[in-house]
Structure 1
């Protein structure tokens, strides 16, 4: 782990039997930064996010090293130093307990406080994330909240104990445009208030442009490109990153999710010996088909591509 890293991932591998869904992933998250993870469905983004919290599915074999400062026991740190904002807030909240009671329980799991003090903190936390009439709403059940309010309540739960890292897995997918912007604003405000870093898994490149400091672009369980947002999205060096950017509309309304590139990602059990993106890539050569590229430093970022030095920007050959 470098001296700048708060969270360090080294050679992360997640396998289900003989099939690897995440293949040798390495990256670092620095204190207070927003680190985005993007890629098409099936790239391994959500599995990676859950591995950071020690929450991989049953049956998954995990290899490599995931370290939060001096600790590798991520399950023990969950809820205290590293917390989670899920895609579906309703499934993350108990349907049979008031929201305020659940938030108070999260507080008491970390801090030795009387119930009354924990409840007062829970109400204050709901108020900070913009829940109207927080004292009354704390007594309500999750199904009595709107989708946006539930997501804000989950953000309150994720930040109330002042963690070092918040992991948010597609936190706005189920929301409309107005509520999406509200939730992103609340998430930014709360993580800044407690001084936490944010790992943001998203399909939305515009959210990455507006909110993230650095970005990891994943493809078929590996890192295609990792670096500062301005460099990676401004002048991509991985053809896959370029393809994502090229397929975005240039004018008109903003599209919220990444449109599909030509072709489809490979199944994890159907990977060949070379670059997983080669069958979809206009720059692919025989070397790409036969040899998987190693990650290397190029122009201020890490890129896994044999042709990274040939890249000049978005490739219109993709669309």
Structure 2
């Protein structure tokens, strides 16, 4: 991986009707790396990813910076692999035509040349008999084939950054592994970095270089993925890992007490304090700032104590 970031996010804040749901987030995306963004539902994962793409809802108010701004070159320098492949593909046009249109949207090439690239892209993600299947409509593809097709569409113009928003949530384990393998192969073939939004920590362990853990719209921990998962310093990260089924050995699945706070009803101090077994008075009084500890960033007053 190169040392100069492809993207630098600084003090990213996203609000709806004056209520912040992403709160002062800063991180970099490095060339060729896989950066996983993880956390419970409502942590701000997908909103953060869509801010990189310039695809926030109209009602969202964003401050902070994303540099350079690649959203104007969406599809060419930055591209999305969505969760729901069927909704991402037009039902009234053949899959090959849609991929060819993506080529022609950024390059002045003939229709036949764009068509050839579309077929090659489908072959590149393992679609059998790609020239014939390029003439098929999305409903004629299986779920796994549709997911491969949107990976082909996202990578067909060799972007610098891919953003994959929960790309395997609706898939069984076998198809999930197939799709992740195809995504990795295509990402490597075009030399792109990947921002992977996921709630599956085993996927992070196997596929990510770094992990960004979010809680209540704010950084909890950021560092090398294996180090974060094998020796978490933020109590929230440790709780996520303890809740995985493979960690309970037949005992009752441990859970956090309580639920994440609503964005408009954050407690004073650390947002995780009401659920945290390590919380002390300082946690309930002052929100911790991220600090460098053990080669990573940790936002916890007691991060060094773990």
Scaled to the shorter chain, the TM-score interval is over 0.9
Distance in 1 of aligned mates of 2:44 and 2:27: 14
Does residue 122 (structure 1) correspond to residue 114 (structure 2)? The answer is no
Cα-to-partner distance string for 1:135-164 (whole Å, 9 max, x where unaligned): 111111111111110010000011111110
Q: CA deviation at 1:272?
A: 2.1
**Partners in 2 of 1:93 and 1:7 — Cα distance?**
28
1:25 aligns to 2:25 (yes or no)? yes
Q: How does 1:127-142 map to 2 (within 5 A)?
A: 127-142=123-138
Determine the C-alpha separation between the residues in 2 that align with 1:166 and 1:271.
32
Distance in 1, matches of 2:8 and 2:118, equals: 31
Partner of 1:314: none
Matching residue of 2:106: 110
Render the CA deviation track for 1:51-93: whole Å, top value 9, x for unaligned. Answer: 00000011100000011xxx32x33121110000010011111
* Structure 2 runs not aligned, ≥5 long: none
Report the TM-score, using the length of structure 2 for normalisation: 0.96
- TM-score between the two structures when normalised by the length of structure 1: 0.92
Asked whether 1:220 is paired with 2:216, we answer yes
Contact 2:162 2:195 in 1 (8 A): yes
SS in 2 for 1:148: helix
2:240: which partner in 1? 244
1:85-138 per-position Cα deviation (integer Å, ceiling 9, x unaligned): 010011111111111000000011111100001001101100110111111111
Aligned to 1:216, what secondary structure does the other structure show?
strand
Question: Residue in 2 aligned with 1:92?
Answer: 88
Mapped to 1, the partners of 2:126 and 2:15 lie a distance apart of 41
Distance 2:304 2:176 in 1: 37
2:289 aligns with 294
Match of 1:66 in 2: 66
Over the aligned positions, Cα root-mean-square deviation in angstroms equals: 1.6
Aligned mate of 1:262, from 248, 257, 271: 257
Q: Would you say 1:281 and 2:292 are equivalent positions? A: no
Q: Specify the SS of the correspondent of 2:8.
A: strand
The runs of at least 4 aligned residues of structure 1 exceeding 4 Å deviation read none
CA 1:251–1:233: 2 relative to 1, 3 Å: closer
- Matched residue, 2:197: 201
In 1, Cα distance between equivalents of 2:245 and 2:107? 48
Q: How far off its partner does 1:260 sit?
A: 5.3
Q: Secondary structure at the match of 1:250?
A: helix
* Whole-angstrom CA distance in 1 between matches of 2:284 and 2:247: 35
Q: Unaligned 5+ residue runs, structure 1?
A: 312-319
Within-5 A mapping of 1:7-46: 7-46=7-46
| Inter-partner Cα distance in structure 2 for 1:145 and 1:174 | 15
SS state at 1:47 partner: helix
Q: Name the structure 1 match of 2:187.
A: 191
1:303 equivalent in structure 2: 298
C-alpha separation between the residues in 1 aligned to 2:231 and 2:202? 15
Name the residue aligned to 2:51: 51
**Residue 317 of structure 1 aligns with which residue?**
none
Distance in 1 (alpha carbons) for counterparts of 2:29 and 2:157: 20
**Secondary structure of the residue that 1:135 maps to in structure 2?**
helix
Report the 3-state secondary structure (helix = DSSP H, G, I; strand = E; otherwise coil) of the residue aligned with 2:13: strand
Paired residue secondary structure (2:146):
helix
